[in-house]
Amino acid sequence: MLYAPTNLHIPDGFLTIIVSLIFWLITIVMVGLAVSKTNKSLGEKQVPLMGVMAAFIFAAQMLNFPIAGGTSGHFLGGALAAIVLGPWAGILVMTAVVGVQGLLFQDGGLLVMGANIFNMGILTAVIGFGLYRLVVHQKRGVRLVVAGGGAWIATMAAALAASLQLWLSGTTRLEIVLPAMLGVHALIGVGEGLITVAALAYIEQTRPDLLNAEKTTREGGRGWIVGSVLVTLAAVLISPLASGSPDGLERVAENLGFLGSGQDAPYQILPDYTIPFLGETAVSTILAGVVGAVILMGLLILVGRNLRRRTEV
Amino acid sequence: MHVDVFDQFHFSESRVHSLDPRVKVVITVAFILSNAILPDGSWLALALAWLFLLLGNDLSNLGLGFTLKRSLIALPFALVAVSAIFSPLGEPLADWDLGFMILVPTDAGLIRFASIMLRSWLSVQIAILLVATTQFPDLIHALEHLRLPRTLTTIIAFLFRYLFVLTNEVHRIQRARKSRSARLPNVRGGGNLGWRIKTTGSIVGQLFTRSYERSDRIYQAMISRGYTGHIRTLNPHQVKSQDWLVLGISAGMLILIQLVGWIL
Amino acid sequence: MPVKHKTPFELIIPECEGDLLQIQDLHFAYPDGHQALRGINLSICEGEKIALVGPNGAGKSTLMLHLNGILGEDTPITIAGLKLEKGNLPLIRALVGLVFQNPDDQLFSPTVFEDVAFGPLHMGLPEEEVRLRVEEALAAVGMDNFGSRLSHHLSMGQKKRISIATVLAMHPQILVLDEPTAGLDPRARRSLINFLRDLPITMLVSTHDLRMVADLFPRMVIMDEGKIVADGQTQLLLKDEDLLLAHGLESLS
With respect to residue B9, please indicate whether it lies within any of the assigned structural domains: no
* Spatial separation of the C-alpha atoms in residues C65 and C72, rounded to whole Å: 8
Helix (H, G, I), strand (E, B) or coil at C184: coil
- Split at pLDDT 50, 70, 90, the class of A4 is very low
Higher pLDDT, C31 or C168: C168
- Scanning C197-216 for CB atoms below 8 A from B yields none
Lowest mean per-residue pLDDT among A33-47, A197-211, A217-231, B88-102: B88-102
A60 interfacial to chain B (CB closer than 8 Å):
yes
pLDDT averaged over chain A?
Answer: 80
pLDDT at A266: 35
**Taking CA atoms, what residue in C is nearest to A201?**
C110
Neighbours of chain A (3+ CB pairs under 8 A): B, C
DSSP assignment of C117-130 equals HHHHHHTT--HHHH
Residue A250: count of CB within 10 angstroms of its CB:
18
With respect to residue B133, please indicate whether it lies within any of the assigned structural domains: yes
pLDDT at A244: 62
**Residue A183 pLDDT > 80, yes or no?**
yes
Distances (CA, A) of B153 to B28, B41, B142, B144, B147: 19, 38, 10, 7, 10
Lowest mean per-residue pLDDT among A2-16, B17-31, B189-203, C142-156: A2-16
With respect to residue B225, please indicate whether it lies within any of the assigned structural domains: no
* Spatial separation of the C-alpha atoms in residues B121 and A12, rounded to whole Å: 8
- Split at pLDDT 50, 70, 90, the class of B232 is low
Mean pLDDT to the nearest integer, C45-74: 89
pLDDT at A92: 94
**Taking CA atoms, what residue in C is nearest to A202?**
C110
**Residue A262 pLDDT > 60, yes or no?**
no
- The class of domain C21-246 in CATH terms is alpha beta
Amino acid at C144: D
A66 interfacial to chain C (CB closer than 8 Å):
no
Higher pLDDT, B100 or A217: A217
Mean pLDDT to the nearest integer, C41-68: 91
The ipTM value here is: 0.87
pLDDT at C124: 84
* Spatial separation of the C-alpha atoms in residues B117 and A11, rounded to whole Å: 10
**Taking CA atoms, what residue in B is nearest to C104?**
B173
Neighbours of chain B (3+ CB pairs under 8 A): A, C
Q: Which domain holds residue B75?
A: 21-145+238-263
Distances (CA, A) of B29 to A158, A284, B251: 25, 29, 12
Query: pLDDT tens for residues A62-97?
Result: 777 666 655 666 788 999 999 999 999 999 999 999
Closest CA to C171 of C208, C201, C216: C201
Query: pLDDT tens for residues A17-50?
Result: 999 999 999 999 999 999 988 888 877 788 888 9
* Percent of chain A whose predicted confidence (pLDDT) is above 90: 30
* Spatial separation of the C-alpha atoms in residues C124 and C133, rounded to whole Å: 13
Higher pLDDT, C5 or A310: A310
**Residue C7 pLDDT > 60, yes or no?**
no
CB contact under 8 A, A96 and B37: no
C86 interfacial to chain A (CB closer than 8 Å):
no
pLDDT at A246: 53
C90 interfacial to chain A (CB closer than 8 Å):
no
Q: State the pairing for strand pair C21-29/C35-44.
A: antiparallel
pLDDT at A245: 54
* Spatial separation of the C-alpha atoms in residues C198 and C192, rounded to whole Å: 10
* Spatial separation of the C-alpha atoms in residues A234 and A241, rounded to whole Å: 11
- Split at pLDDT 50, 70, 90, the class of A281 is low
- Scanning A277-306 for CB atoms below 8 A from B yields 278, 284, 287-288, 291-292, 295, 298-299, 302-303, 305-306
Q: In which region does residue A108 sit, left (phi positive, over 0), alpha (psi from -120 to 50) or beta (all else)?
A: left
Higher pLDDT, B53 or A238: B53
Size of interface A-C (CB pairs under 8 A): 7
Query: pLDDT tens for residues B121-130?
Result: 999 999 999 9
CB contact under 8 A, C70 and B205: no
How many domains does chain B contain in total?
Answer: 1
* Percent of chain C whose predicted confidence (pLDDT) is above 70: 92
User: Phi/psi of residue C249, each to 5°?
Assistant: -115, 150
With respect to residue B211, please indicate whether it lies within any of the assigned structural domains: no
CB contact under 8 A, C153 and A206: yes
